[in-house]
Amino acid sequence: MTIEEIDRLIADSMFVNIGFIDSTGNPSIRRAFCTWHKGIGKHLISTNTSSMHVQALLLNSDACLYFENSKAFEGICLQGKAIVHFEKEFKEMCWKDGDEQYYPKGVEDEDYCIIEFTAENGRYYRYDGIGNITKQEIGLFDHSKEYVDNYDRLMERGE
């Protein structure tokens, strides 16, 4: 896969699988909405502070994100760090109409937080080959990129 194809796979995904290490030291996976991306290297996920994966990430920020398209037999596993943000700046940026059903107190609800994942490296899997991308390649590709939310575009496509 080219880095442009990896970028397209991520941009066209509505969900991601988050891999993390739980409080007992065992690997765990949680699936989440993930439509905010800054190129390939940075991703935002709105979630509940009380959820098990957030509590685990607060203790151990080592994590991975796996974006995949089963129909195309392609996937990318990014390894890196997941930082949990409680700052209003992140929470306001990601807030969507309707989020009140999950967070009744609104943007300042203490159960509302934003996971920011930063990639250190990646490994892609496709029918035509497996390979790695480095932090340097990600940095070059992402240079001058800003955070973009693809949610509305994906909803319009009926994903």
The residues that touch a copy of itself, with contacts defined as CB under 8 A, are 14-15, 17, 19-22, 25-31, 52, 62-64, 66, 68, 70, 75, 77, 79, 123, 125
Q: Which is nearer to a copy of itself, 20 or 103 (CB)?
A: 20
Q: Which is nearer to a copy of itself, 49 or 147 (CB)?
A: 49
Close Cβ partners of 51 (under 8 Å, ≥ 6 residues apart): 30
Q: How far is the CB of 118 from a copy of itself (least distance, A)?
A: 13
Q: How far is the CB of 89 from a copy of itself (least distance, A)?
A: 27
DSSP code per residue over 4-64: HHHHHHHHT-SEEEEEEE-TTS-EEEEEEE--EEETTTEEEEEEETTSHHHHHHHH--EEE
Q: Which is nearer to a copy of itself, 30 or 135 (CB)?
A: 30
Q: How far is the CB of 159 from a copy of itself (least distance, A)?
A: 10
Q: How far is the CB of 87 from a copy of itself (least distance, A)?
A: 25
User: Rounded to whole angstroms, how far apart are CA atoms 87 and 103?
Assistant: 16
